[in-house]
Chain A
Amino acid sequence: MFGDHAAYIVPSYLISLLVMLGLIGWIRITYSSHKKALKALEAKGIKRASSK
């Protein structure tokens, strides 16, 4: 499909995919860890002024 240049084209798409998946994964993991930490603190009765 890509002829002699497959060695350059395939890594271009693979690296792009990996970087994007890595970015999405990092953002999603950060979101769940922040949510978890907030819940843990709120469970201890420590709440923001606006959520009282």
Chain B
Amino acid sequence: MIENTKNNIGIWARLGAWLTHMANPTRFMRFADRTIPYLAGLSLSLFAIGLYLGFTAPQDYQQGATVQIMFVHVPSAWLAMMCFSVMAVSGIGTLVWRHPLADVSLRAAAPIGLAFTFLALVTGSLWGKPMWGAWWVWDARLTSVFILFLIYIGIIALSRAIEEPTTAARSLSVITLVGWIIIPIIKFSVKWWNTLHQPASVSKLGAPSMDAVFLYPLLTMALAFTVLFFCLHFMNMRNEILRRRLRVLKIKSGQLGKGSAV
């Protein structure tokens, strides 16, 4: 017990030390340059395995071949929520620790989260038409994911509207943390309200109510999407650091005013 507690403290202390080490953007750029090719390769391999398992899986007795849509829809929906949670943690990083990369992380994640939320909505709609007979219904799960989509758009718009960097970072962090309330609402919407959308079938406490023949391709695809997310996030964080450097040089050269954005 005491040994476990010591190990846990050790892990958190090491994570803290690593995050402090990464507070230097140049150091992060070097880390990203080294890591991105491995993440890209791993993601591609996982996609290849996931797609093979998915396309060779049998048809579901209820959904028929449309079960194939689940292998892209469910990971997109998970990523849409995970990405917003990464942004919320980054928001805490800005407000509490003033970590130089926290705002970079928040801004870089937003367009990626928007893309995954869009995919979750579109693929869900393409699954809904043959299964429910409707492209869209205003039930609690679908509506809450649509609200998440609008929140992402709002955050991206705000990040471009405020030009002064410190004010922008704080405002974005506060809005993201307030907006995070939508994540538990999405997660528990199928429990709290009577929805057309089915309840959780993978993340249920106990055993997932899904056959292994569908569960394995789904989990492999989810892992592929997750690795892809981190790869894209690091790539876009690199862009955000370069954008800031560019802004500083443009101000120096007189091409931009101090309160202007690139």
Binding site for B on A (CB under 8 A): 1-6, 8-9, 11-13, 15-16, 19-20, 22-24, 26-28, 30-31, 34-35, 37-38, 41-42, 44, 46-48, 50
B239 CB-CB contact with A under 8 Å: yes
With A16-B119, A38-B242 given, can you name 20 additional A-B contacts, CB distance below 8 Å?
A2-B68, A3-B59, A3-B64, A4-B64, A8-B130, A12-B72, A12-B123, A15-B126, A16-B76, A19-B119, A23-B232, A27-B232, A27-B235, A30-B239, A31-B238, A31-B239, A38-B245, A38-B249, A41-B246, A48-B245
The answer to whether A38 touches B72, judged by C-beta atoms less than 8 angstroms apart, is: no
Residue contact B73 to A12, C-beta cutoff 8 Å: yes
From residue A32, how far is it (CB to closest CB) to chain B in Å?
10
Find out whether the CB atom of B249 lies under 8 angstroms from the CB atom of A19: no
Show 6 residue pairs from A and B whose CB-CB distance is below 8 angstroms, ordered by the A residue: A9-B65, A16-B119, A19-B115, A22-B115, A23-B111, A38-B242
Q: A15-B119, A23-B232 given as contacts; is B76 within 8 A of A38 (CB)?
A: no
Q: Does the CB pair A48–B249 fall under 8 Å?
A: yes
| A19 to B72 Cα, complex, angstroms | 12
B223 CB to closest chain A CB (Å) equals 15
Complex CA distance for A16 and B79, rounded to whole angstroms: 13
Contacts A16-B76, A27-B232, A31-B242: A5 and B119 contacting too (C-beta < 8 A)?
no
Contact status B246-A38, CB under 8 Å: yes
Tell me the B residues contacting A by CB distance below 8 Å. Answer: 26, 55, 59, 64-66, 68-69, 72-73, 76, 111-112, 115, 118-119, 122-123, 126-127, 129-130, 228, 232, 235-236, 238-239, 242-243, 245-246, 248-250, 252-253
With A12-B126, A19-B118 as known contacts, state yes or no: A41 contacts B72, CB within 8 Å. no
- Write the nearest CB–CB distance from B179 to chain A, whole angstroms: 21
Chain B contacts for A28, CB-based, 8 A: 235
What CA separation (Å) do A24 and B26 show in the bound complex?
A: 22
Q: Is the CB of A37 within 8 A of B246?
A: yes
- Identify the closest chain A residue to B129 (Cβ): A8
Given A11-B126, A31-B239: A48 in contact with B248 (beta carbons within 8 A): yes
Complex Cα distance A31/B112, Å?
Answer: 15
Docked pose: A19 CA to B118 CA in angstroms: 9
B26 x A16 contact (CB < 8 A): no
A6 to nearest B CB, angstroms?
A: 8
Give the shortest distance, in Å, between A8 (CB) and chain B (any CB). Answer: 5
Q: Which residue of chain A has the shortest Cβ distance to B108 in the bound complex?
A: A27
| Residue among B72, B126, B228, B242 making CB contact with A34, cutoff 8 Å | B242
In the bound assembly, the distance between CA atoms of A19 and B122 in angstroms comes to 11
Question: How far does the Cβ of A47 sit from chain B's closest Cβ, in whole Å?
Answer: 8
